[in-house]
Amino acid sequence: MRTPSSILIDVELPDPSPLPPALVKLVSSLRVVIVGWYEVPEQTSPEQAREQFEEEAAAALQEIATPFEDAGAEVTQRLVFTGNVFDTVSRISVEESCDTVYIARPATELQNVLVPLRGTHNIESIMAFVADLLKERETKVTMLQVMEEGESEEKVLSKVIEPARARITDRGMDDSMLSDHLVTSDDPAGVIIEEAEDYDLVVLGETEPTMRKILFGSIPEQIAIEANVPVIVVRHAAEDVPA
């Protein structure tokens, strides 16, 4: 059997912003890697900060982790004193082989999920994750495909939406929870950000095989920054990267 999907959730220490209880419930079937980072400026050696603040930071991290553990998730905690948070999160996402990365925004409930697709790109990983995440829940999933001018709707339905739907139902998700939405525009990021307003969570695939590209200078980055709802970025599965 395939191992459960995993998600990386990073929190700032020693005063983390609370994570929505809905998230705790949502990811309880996954392997959850919680990265608590304590950022120090260059004047300070991370070692010096660890010596003084480790106990406090570890307690704060444990407080964040406890609800996930109680909800039944398989939790791994990583506490890091760092001068560069981005390095830390991307290093750990690789070390722990996380399939997805959670980008926090305030949220109350997670009942409506938007899944923007970019053709068949990365579709296997995205759909597998969505199914793992949502199959036993009353959560509505909307697949969004932004089409180019002149692209045929029928073709998109048969080439993208249907295969996606098949993959997700194969993994045990109820077909009635799925819907699709096609929009024509030359600004996919803008459309996704606008549409996201009506949803509680966005799950989208990274466009490049590296973390750096997701967070710097590509469409998902813009969405992750500008969307007002939480985003889960699905990383490239190793087998999706052409050899």
Partner 1 sequence: MSPAERPKVEIESQSGELERSLGFVEAMAIGTGTMVGAGIFVFPGLAAGQAGPAAMLSFAIGAVIAMLVALPTAELATAMPESGGGYYFISRGLGSFLGSLVGIGQWLGLIFASAFYLMGFAYYLSDVLTVLGVTASLPVQVVAFVTVVVLTGVSITGTKNTGDLQNAIVGLLLIILAGFLGHGLLDATGVLGRESIPETFMPFGVMPIFTTAALVFTSYLGFAQIATVAGEIKDPGRNLPRAMIGSVLLVGVLYVLTIFLSTSIVGSEQLSGLGETAIVEVARSIFGTVGAGAILTGGLLATLSSANASILSSSRSLFALSRDALVPDETRKINRRFRTPHVALLLTGVPTAGLILFGRVEVLAEVASLLHLLMYGLMCITLLVMRARRPAAYDPDFRCPGSPVLPALGALASFGLIAFMQPLSIGLGLGVLVAAALWDGFFARDVDIVYE
For the CB of residue 208, give the shortest distance to partner 1 in the complex, in Å.
20
Residue 112 touching partner 1 (CB under 8 A) = no
Q: What is the largest CA-CA distance in the chain?
A: 62
Residue 84 touching partner 1 (CB under 8 A) = yes
For the CB of residue 74, give the shortest distance to partner 1 in the complex, in Å.
12
Residue 48 touching partner 1 (CB under 8 A) = yes
Residue 78 touching partner 1 (CB under 8 A) = yes
Residue 57 touching partner 1 (CB under 8 A) = yes
Number of residues that bind partner 1 (CB under 8 A): 36
Phi then psi for residue 228, to 5 deg, are -95, 5
Which residue among 68, 81, 129, 199 contacts partner 1 (CB under 8 A)?
A: 81
Residue number, 93 or 139, with CB nearest to partner 1: 93
Residue number, 55 or 153, with CB nearest to partner 1: 55
DSSP states along 194-205: HHHTT-SEEEEE
Residue 39 touching partner 1 (CB under 8 A) = yes
Which residue among 3, 44, 97, 152 contacts partner 1 (CB under 8 A)?
A: 44
Omega before 4 within 30 of 0, i.e. cis: no
Could you tell me how far CA 59 lies from the centroid of its own chain?
Answer: 25
Could you tell me how far CA 108 lies from the centroid of its own chain?
Answer: 17
Residue 61 touching partner 1 (CB under 8 A) = yes
Which residue among 47, 149, 154, 239 contacts partner 1 (CB under 8 A)?
A: 47
Q: How far apart are CA 157 and CA 128, in angstroms?
A: 19
DSSP states along 10-57: EEESSSPPPPPHHHHHHTTTSEEEEEEEEE--TTS-HHHHHHHHHHHH
Residue 53 touching partner 1 (CB under 8 A) = yes
> Strands 74-82 and 201-205: what pairing?
unpaired
Residue 100 touching partner 1 (CB under 8 A) = no
- 27 near 155, Cβ under 8 Å? no
Residue number, 56 or 186, with CB nearest to partner 1: 56
Query: Which strand (E) or helix (H) includes residue 147?
Result: strand 140-147
**Residues near partner 1, by CB under 8 A:** 38-54, 57-59, 61-62, 65, 69, 76-84, 87-88, 91
